[in-house]
Structure 1
Amino acid sequence: MAALVIAEHDNQSLKLATLNAVAAALQCSPEVDVLVAGSGADAVVAAASQIAGVRKVIQIDAPSLADQLAEPLAAQILSIASGYSHVLAPATANGKNVLPRVAAKLDVAQLSDITKVISVDTFERPIYAGNAIATVQSSDPIKVITVRTTGFDPVAATGGAAVIEKSAAADSAGKSAFVGRELTKSDRPELTAAKIIVSGGRGLGSGEKYQELIAPLADKLGAALGASRAAVDAGYVPNDYQVGQTGKIVAPQLYVAVGISGAIQHLAGMKDSKVIVAINKDPEAPIFSVADYGLVADLNTAVPELINLLP
């Protein structure tokens, strides 16, 4: 049977994480459909129809889907899930919010955060903060899966010619309502899609120091801003900057860690980065165990010098 991918979007544009989920889905089935459930999301549907390897795009348009609330979105997935052997979504905040509800309603076990497809019923996923890899096999008739996007190279965003099928919205219980959303607006690249990330940790000492050192370095490199959980908990930056097991999982081309000791939960979120650069005054800091380049130095001296050397 075919696989269904739940598109990640904001009603205006398709999120890149969808391409990674499609890559995983194609390893589960040669026939992959994409569900775009939203409100006024025609641009997203058009983009999804161009994804290489996609057979069909199912568009469900309703005002109740505008804010991607878990209850109405899960109802749409459940209305068509019986036609698929696999239902996949990126392991983002949205995917982690919606698919457990789908799995519970289908009475199947969810397969979370997979990083490899071994066969149509067998997958790999990290456990113990990425220190071990579990091989899991499911005999459920429908496999409900969240995909760790760093584990799969994205498929091409263009080159496909999928059929677009419009479907009526299914009724949902309406037990939740959208109240509001506070977003951090930035001209920088989005953290999970950035090719370069500069992250700061508790070693910076304050939010002011973060802005004084990390932000200018990121500006020089054209990078996204990240942080360790310790820096977020200390109030240096908003929690949407957090990289790690309980934050965002990233794998950029370049990851620069400044004043980050390298706790297990942080390493779990960034150790798949192609090149890791660490600056820390403690030569025994765990971050150096995964770093390709390490500088043992006072960040207050090293970072300004680095900024001055960059063009």
Structure 2
Amino acid sequence: MKVLGFAAQSATTSLEPFSFTRRDTRDDDVVIDILYCGVCHTDLHLARNHGGFTTYPIVPGHEIIGRVSEVGAQVTQFRVDQLVGVGCMVDSCQKCQPCQHGWEQNCSEGSTFTYNSKDRRDGSVTFGGYSQSIVVREEFVLSIPAGLDPAGAAPLLCAGVTTWSPLLHWNIGAGSKVAVIGLGGLGHMALKLAKALGADVSLFTRSEGKSEDAFRLGADHVVVSSDPEQMSAVNGQFDVIIDTVPYDHDINPYLPTLALEGVLVLVGYMGPLSTAVNAGMLVSGRKAVTGSFIGGVKETQQMLDFCGEKGIVSDIEIIPLQKINEAYDRMSKSDVKYRFVIDMASLNV
């Protein structure tokens, strides 16, 4: 199947129109005509080869909303014309312990990611959602609840589940106290989801100018992290801190604000922390620093269903695909509130 999309041909070139062939449809596949695709910081990092493992040409995009156009002979969960989503993964071994627990993102044999990965059956390179259509194994297709704005739902498939998964894992609900570090694509979803789960929610920020938006998005309190008095006032309060900062930073100032057995969860940064963690602040109070990586298929569907019940979507700015390079430039400067979403109809203009 011939498909039109946008691709980067190297780490230094802009994304441009790119025609390629999708793999043949298998009996357990769903073919999806893409309507919207969110733009994630990971797209930028991989397009620019910041991790050193990008395969070119690369078609990014793993926050995909579309309609089913075809189903394989063995597909039972989806029907033609159904509104569906695809997140960060399109396959896994389905047999290992993580997969059996619903944590396909931690597949022992390696997950097959939506782009810049290798199809585990034929070895072909996967191409993402900046394109007209995609072919995905049934087990990795998600149902989009009726009533959710499809464009606003696209970032739920990465930013949403990335923040939902640790909230779910640490049993956040009524009576919980949650803090969020950083107010971007991940941070704004963490505020919305934690508040909808019934938690008392605070935002840590270095800028007082973000208070109005934080309260609108669900924060009950805003703490300016550069103010020692404000930081001291919240010592020992938080059951969970969701750290969405996407770059190297010192997490030590936040550790005293954890409650007994509280946990700080890194979801935005995957590299080494140059400032050593003060173990003394963890030992006292049985506190922990941990991380969480996207989420499994089951919990992604749970998150989507929850968002459908609560009417939660991402705050977005819709763009045509032809403006993706401008969007990357703006995203690198944090000039978006809070997620770009591509209207894929722009490919047909």
- Mark yes or no: TM-score above 0.5: no
